Structure 1
Amino acid sequence: MLSTTEARAAGLVTLLLVAACTAAPTTAPAPAPPPTSAAAPGGSLADVPTVSAQLLPSVVKILTTGGNGSGVIYTGDGLILTNEHVVRGSPTVQIGFADGQRHAGTVQAVDVVTDLALVQAERRDLPVARFQPGLPVIGELAIAIGSPLGFENSVTAGVVSGLHREIPGTAAETQALVDLIQTDAPISPGNSGGTLVNARGEVIGISEAYIPPQAGAVSIGFAIPAATAIDVAEQLRTTGRARHAFAGLEPTQITPQIAAQLDLPGTDGVIVAATVPGGPAAIAGLQPGDLILAVDGQPTRRPEDFLGALRRRAPGDTIAVSVRSPDGRERSTQLTLTDRPAFSQ
C-alpha cells in the first residue's frame, strides 16, 4: 500500500509533465539550496562553471503555442532532442539558441512511451552535446541545464541520488516515469527536455519530472538515462518510431478493496486487469485476476515496478514471471516479449 507521502507524490509528480510549457513569471520562485558538500564522487561544485560554459551552447529553449520547454542539440545538422510532452500538439516550434538566435523547428518524430522527441531546427553547424552511454554513479555531480519557467540558460547543481527509479502511482497516466535517474539538482517546469550533465561535461540524462514541495519533497527530480535517450533517438532518426518490449497485459495496482475482495494478505503485487488476445501474456496462460509477484526474481510491488522491468528488456526477450492465481496457486511461467503494437502507444 502507498504511504501518505507516496500517494501525495503520485498525484502531484506529473506537474512538470503538464506544466513544462509555461510562460515565464515576473518573479522566480525561491530556488532550493545547493548541496553543501564540495567533494562528491565524480566531481565537485568547483566543476560547475567549467561544465556549464561547455554545455550551455548545446542546450536550447523550445517555444510552442502553449509555452516553453528545453532541448539539447543531438546532431550538428539541427536535430534537437527533447521530451514528447514539450512538443505535444505542436507540429512546428520556435527554438531559442544560447547565442540569442531563434529559428523555426519541425517535430520529426516522437515516442510517448519514453517521452522523447526529435525536432529538426532550420539551422546547421551546431555544437553537439556529448552523451555518456553508461549509467552514472550514485553520488557523482549532476548539473541540470535548461529553461525553467522560461528563464533561459539556467544552471542548477546537485548529485545523482538514485538509479532505476519508478514513481509510484504514475502508471495509470503515463509509462514514461519508470527506470529513471533521481537527482537533487533542482528541476522545475520548463527544464523538461534539458540536460543532466556530469563533471566531464557529458549528458547523463534528459530532465523529465520532479516531485513538488507540496508533496513534502525537497529537491527530488528525475531524468531519462542517456542510454535510453540515445537508443530511442537513433531509432526515431532511422525509422520514425521506437521499438519497446510488450507483455500484452494491463498491470493494475492492488487497492485495499481489491485485496479484501480477493482475500489477499496485502497490497503488494500487480493485478492483471486485462490481456491482449494472442499477446505474450495470453499465450503464456496469464488471465485477468492473476497476481504478478515478480519478474526474473525481482519483486513487483507496483505496476511501475513491472513497467520498469519491461523498459530494461527488448522485443524477443523471454522473462520469468511469478504468478498467483485467484485460487491461491502460485506458479512461474515464461513470457516471450514482442514489439509494442502501434495501437498501444
Structure 2
Amino acid sequence: MLSPTKAVAAGLLIPLLVAACTTAPTTAPAPGPAPSTAAPAPSGSLADVPPVSAQLLPSVVKILTEGGNGSGVIYTGDGLILTNEHVVRGSPTVQVGFADGQRHAGTVRAVDVVTDLAIVQVERRDLPVPRFQPELPVIGELAIAIGSPLGFENSVTAGVVSGLHREIPGTAAETQALVDLIQTDAAISPGNSGGALVNARGEVIGINEAYIPPQAGAVSIGFAIPAATAIDVAEQLRTSGRARHAFAGLEPTQISPQIAAQLGLPGTDGVIVAATVPGGPAAIAGLRPGDLILAVDGEPTRRPEDFIGALRRRAPGDTITLSIHGLDGQQRSAQVTLTDRPAFSR
C-alpha cells in the first residue's frame, strides 16, 4: 500500500512514495528504554553488521493489518511497540510477529499524525528492549536498517548516515511528518516503515520512515525519524495519549514564480502565509495572509518544509523571531509565541 505525493528535486516535479509504508498482504511468512549517554562517533564498518543484526533482530517486529504490513520496534519489555502511524492507520487492532516466530494480537494505544508515530500494546512480557540513542548520529557513520520490507521478515540492509535535518520538498501540503529527518543510503523499501535504523554500537538512532524511489531518479535515498523525536513522542503517547507540538497558527505555502514576479521578488525562496488562525499566535503577532516568511530565528525558510522543520525543533511556549517581507514591500521582524497545537489542526 503505497501513498503517492510529489517532491521537488533539482527544480523538477518528481513522483515520491511518501513512506516506506505498509505493503499489501502476502502469503510470505515497564519503563521506557534507557537512552544512551555516550556521544556518537563516526564509527562502524560492514564487519559490524552481522553482530549488530544478531543483537537487534529480536527487538524488531512485523506488524500486520488488513491493509498490509509494516515494521515496529520493541519499546518496553511489557509489550509496548513503537511504529509509524501510517503503518496502523485505520486499524484499532493489529497482529504483531516476533523474531522467534510467535504472533500476538496488538491494540493501537495512541497515534501522533504530526510525527507519524504510534504505539501498539501486546500481551507479552520480558521482551528485548534495544537501547535508543537520543543524540543525533554523525554523517558518514554506519547505519543498519532492520524491518520487513515487502513482507520479508527480519531483513537487514546497511549503509551510512547521509545527512541530518532533512526535509522532503513538496510534501508539506499532504503531511507534516517528512521534516527534520535522518537521511541514509541503507536500502529502505515498502514494509520497512516503523523498523529500526541502528548504529555500529547496536543503538537505535531512528525509526524508518520514507524513501524516494528509483523511478524518481534516486539511488538509495531513505529517511528515518530521529530517535530523540521518537522517544519524546512515545513517552507522551504512553502517559497522556497525545503529543504536544509547537503551533504558529498559520498555513505556509510555497512561493510560485508568478507570485514572485507579481511582488518583484528575486526568486521563489521563502514561504507565503496563505492563512492565519483567528486569535492564533501568528495573528496576534500581526502576520497577515500574503506576508512572506524569509527566516525563523535567522535560519532561512526557502520552502514550507523548512518552516515546519523549524517548528519541530521548538516547543509550545517558545518565542520565535520571523523575518517578514510584508505586503507593503517592507521588511520587518515579528515575535511569535508558539502554543500547543490544537487537536483539530493538521
Q: Under a length normalisation based on structure 2, what TM-score does the superposition of the two structures give? A: 0.92
Alpha-carbon distance in structure 2 between the residues aligned to 1:299 and 1:318: 17
The one-letter amino acid of 1:328's match is G
SS of aligned partner of 1:56: helix
Asked if the contact 1:7/1:169 (under 8 Å) is kept, the reply is: no
Alpha-carbon distance in structure 2 between the residues aligned to 1:309 and 1:266: 21
The one-letter amino acid of 2:194's match is G
- Displacement of 1:6: 5.4
- Map 1:119-158 onto structure 2 (within 5 A): 119-158=120-159
- Displacement of 1:263: 2.9
Per-residue CA distance 1:82-122 (angstroms, 9 max, x = gap): 00000000000000000001000000000000000000012
Query: Hey, what does 1:14 align to over in structure 2?
Result: 18
SS of aligned partner of 2:267: coil
- Displacement of 1:190: 0.2
Query: Hey, what does 1:169 align to over in structure 2?
Result: 170
Note the aligned Cα RMSD (angstroms). Answer: 1.5
- Displacement of 1:41: 3.2
- Map 1:64-83 onto structure 2 (within 5 A): 64-83=65-84
Alpha-carbon distance in structure 2 between the residues aligned to 1:234 and 1:15: 23
SS of aligned partner of 1:74: strand
SS of aligned partner of 2:186: coil
Asked if the contact 1:21/1:86 (under 8 Å) is kept, the reply is: no
- Displacement of 1:258: 2.0
Structure 2 gaps, min length 5: 1-6, 29-40
Alpha-carbon distance in structure 1 between the residues aligned to 2:165 and 2:63: 28
Alpha-carbon distance in structure 2 between the residues aligned to 1:275 and 1:122: 45
Query: Hey, what does 1:291 align to over in structure 2?
Result: 292
- Displacement of 1:306: 0.3
For the pair 1:211 / 2:212, whether they are aligned, the reply is: yes
Aligned positions, number: 328
The one-letter amino acid of 1:134's match is E
Structure 1 gaps, min length 5: 27-39
Structure with greater proportional helix content: 1
Per-residue CA distance 1:6-34 (angstroms, 9 max, x = gap): 5444x3131534xx2323498xxxxxxxx
Further displaced range: 255-264 or 216-225: 255-264
Distance 1:154 1:309, change over 3 A: same
Alpha-carbon distance in structure 2 between the residues aligned to 1:282 and 1:50: 54
The one-letter amino acid of 1:333's match is A
- Map 1:189-338 onto structure 2 (within 5 A): 189-338=190-339
Alpha-carbon distance in structure 2 between the residues aligned to 1:252 and 1:92: 36
Asked if the contact 2:248/2:282 (under 8 Å) is kept, the reply is: yes
SS of aligned partner of 1:343: coil
For the pair 1:88 / 2:89, whether they are aligned, the reply is: yes
Query: Hey, what does 2:36 align to over in structure 1?
Result: none
Alpha-carbon distance in structure 1 between the residues aligned to 2:271 and 2:149: 36
Alpha-carbon distance in structure 2 between the residues aligned to 1:271 and 1:328: 13
The one-letter amino acid of 2:24's match is T
Further displaced range: 251-260 or 71-80: 251-260
